[in-house]
Chain A
Amino acid sequence: MTSATFPPSPPENTSWSRYFGFNTDAKVIGIQYIVTAFFFFLIGGLLAMIIRGELITPPADLVDRTVYNGIYTMHGTIMLFLFIFPVLNGLNNLLIPTMIGAPDMAFPRLNAVAFWLVPIFGALLIGSFFVPGGPAYSGWWSYPPVSTQNPLGHFINGQGLWITAVALSGVSSIMGAINFVTTILRMRAPGMGFFRMPVYCWTALAAQSLQLIGLPALTGGAVMLLMDLSFGTSFYQPEGGGDPVLYQHFFWFYSHPAVYVIILPVFGIFSELFPVYSRKPLFGYVYVCLASFIIVALGLVVWVHHMFPSGVAQWMRNFFMFSTMLIAVPTGVKVFAWLGTIWRGKLRLTTPMLFCLGGLFNFVFAGITGIMLATVPVDIHVSNTYFVVGHFHYVIYGAAVMGIFAAIYHWFPKFIGRMPYEGLGKLHFLLTFIGANLNFLPMHPLGLMGMPRRVSSYDPEFAFWNVLASLGAFLLGVSIIPFLLNMVSAWVRGPKAPHNPWNAIGLEWLLPSPPPEDNFGEHVPTVISRPYGYGTGEPLVEHQAEIENQLTLEEARA
């Protein structure tokens, strides 16, 4: 490679219009995913505000009980299927090709189709608010027999639309998973063996493998549910010989691993960001990589812990209790690796680092309550109470969403080409961290006291903790304002970003900001070391100094 041909030219079309049409560039699709996901995040968040508004006082005085059931069902469904999976697919689209030095995904057109299914099933789900009988009201897990009752007799009903949307989301995610896995396996830069691959790619590979194994089971189960609901079969109807618990097996075989599909890429984000902002190599790189696949293997044999009170055999309870607890081992390996990375590092408390530290704190807390929940007697005691809701939200919002915010602040300059504002970012972090803890911490005492979930009215003895939780929720709602303000204003008129504003190591930081359409094009550099050589001065690729000089010269000229 000669440095004279580097860097490649900037993207030809940089107008806004390319984000609104069918485009096969993974970076455009990535941003399409993320923006669409945040649109649905606002809708899901609005529903959460209604839920916490209802629960701020003991009586059911804000919305009708059936409407309330529909609202919490849709809140969960939208947040999982329309926000968190799409936003992670967006990050995968941005990061995987640029991190491994590929020009695009392995199947660019399939990639675009997978994205465009998201607004379609989003419209189906949001549209279900307007059909007779309103949206699905059986919770985001849609257990039969509640979900197979069709009191109105309409062919198109909220529950039917829910099942169709979930099945479509499965199809979209499987398409995405095939693409991500093929890309990582087949399109790495010369010299990038598996043990020179960034941890984010390892975790994405692990998470997408889980999608491929778990999702078809849910899709199959959902097809059978739709047939029971709409065509009168009896897969889950005891009166026709069916078994409602079978659905729970299908559902949780996917939906428990789904938590790892969400949290594994966030582990990847932590592993990328802690070394950058601590100026130290990632501690225990190989173990962090391998732990991801141990989590995948164990994650596939834990689903019954969601069914301890559903009448499963005692031996199954014991087996799944131990397999669930074992997950703490590879997860602990990762946590210690991050702590080892931060330990005696030169910490820079930028917005992405703050979100990582906050996310790690919340994740450790969620891990502790997770071990409590894995224990059969505790689980049976607190099952269907707010304890579970608190644990779950600590994982998803406290750790995963905070990790996603960290990733957005960290890679925004690379893919948008402009710097986000630190002040607004820090305000966003502060409101999020306080809001999340104020919202989700009180749910634990509420659950231990016995407050059931999925209710719109409750005994006044639960009022104190509920007021705190609602105030936290409103604070979380407010925290989105500085975030949106930051993103929009930085995108429109933020300061221009250099190619490597955080002084990070990784192939993506050897590209101009924003990267050209085919990334490195024909000039993919040869990788000669691991991507975490902070403080060692070890170059990542051949001719690294020449590439960096060329990029800096270009920036100075522009």
Chain B
Amino acid sequence: MTATPHLNTEHPKHNLTGFIIFLCSESVIFLAFFSGFALLKTAALNWLPPGVEGLEWRTPLLNTVVLISSSGTIWLAERCMSKGNLVGFRAFWLLTMALGAYFLYGQAVEWGGLQFGFTSGVFGGTFYLLTGFHGLHVATGVFLMGLMLVKSFIPQNYAGGEQGVQATSLFWHFVDVIWIILFVLLYVWQRS
């Protein structure tokens, strides 16, 4: 009797299933923050801190456009990948990374010009919590994309890379959808 070879259970299909399940549980964290925001806002007597009129929406709107376009470019990158066009993949992938980085820059500029801080009542707290937590996800997405870009240069990792590309792209669309909800909650719904 011979020992059976150890099976590699880390099958690519499992990875994607696991990742989708992970994204489902991530969306519950955001849902918790969003519902907390809505509850606090509708119940608060003084929502805005003294001296603050509201949020300026032009920079965030530009940021929204940038992020939505990046969802398009990542889709194009994925399409190139599935057709075996590695050069096209890298070009669109890099463009997506650049758009993501621009979003983070725009967020930083907005934070720098704000009249209130993290501890300025419940308004400040929720604003920085929501945008900060989302920004952390954008940064993670850009980092993951960098990782996949490096991986795409290693020939034997190509199959594994494709798997990672799918997961990263899913993550990026997720981050995008979250931002749209966040934009509506924070910037569009300013008057209760």
Contact = CB atoms under 8 A, between A and B. Distances in A.
A234 B119 contact: yes
Nearest to B6: A518
Interface centre among B15, B29, B119 (most CB of A within 10 A): B29
Interface residues of B, number: 42
Contacts of A224: 36, 125, 129
B3 A213 contact: no
A187 interface: yes
Given A103-B9, A521-B4, A217 B125 contact: no
A212 B22 CA distance: 8
A174 interface: yes
Contact of B25 (A5, A177, A227, A243): A177
Contacts of B13: 186
Contacts of B119: 231-234, 240
A156 B3 CA distance: 52
B28 A213 contact: yes
Interface string B155-178: 000000000000000000000000
Contacts of A227: 125, 129
Interface in A194-246: 212-217, 219-221, 224, 227, 231-235, 237, 240-243, 246
Contacts of B6: 103, 517-518
Contact of B17 (A186, A250, A521): A186
B126 to A, nearest CB: 7
Contacts of B129: 224, 227, 233, 235
Contact of A235 (B10, B31, B45, B122): B122
Nearest to B3: A9
Contacts of A105: 9
B115 to A, nearest CB: 17
Contacts of A187: 9, 14
Contact of A518 (B7, B24, B121): B7
Interface residues of A, number: 51
B134 to A, nearest CB: 13
A523 B14 CA distance: 21
A107 interface: yes
A235 B28 CA distance: 18
A371 to B, nearest CB: 29
Interface string B1-37: 1111111011101110110011011101101110010
Contacts of B43: 243
Contacts, number: 139
A65 to B, nearest CB: 33
Given A178-B18, A241-B47, A231 B9 contact: no
A336 to B, nearest CB: 33
A22 B4 CA distance: 22
A453 B9 CA distance: 49
Interface centre among A105, A177, A220 (most CB of B within 10 A): A220
B29 A216 contact: yes
A522 interface: yes
A102 interface: yes
B44 interface: yes
Interface centre among B3, B15, B36, B39 (most CB of A within 10 A): B36
Given A241-B121, A242-B40, A243-B40, A220 B25 contact: no
B1 A182 contact: no
Nearest to A214: B28
Interface string A168-196: 00000010011101100111000000000
A104 interface: yes
A12 B121 contact: no
A35 to B, nearest CB: 24
A106 interface: yes
Nearest to B17: A182
B5 A522 contact: yes
Given A103-B7, A517-B6, A521-B4, A212 B118 contact: no
A243 B6 CA distance: 54
A205 to B, nearest CB: 11
15 contacts: A106-B9, A106-B17, A107-B9, A174-B25, A182-B17, A215-B25, A217-B29, A234-B119, A235-B40, A235-B122, A235-B129, A240-B122, A240-B125, A246-B39, A246-B40
Interface of B: 1-7, 9-11, 13-15, 17-18, 21-22, 24-26, 28-29, 31-33, 36, 39-40, 43-47, 118-119, 121-126, 129
Given A182-B14, A241-B122, A246-B40, 6 more contacts: A102-B9, A103-B6, A104-B9, A216-B28, A217-B29, A233-B118
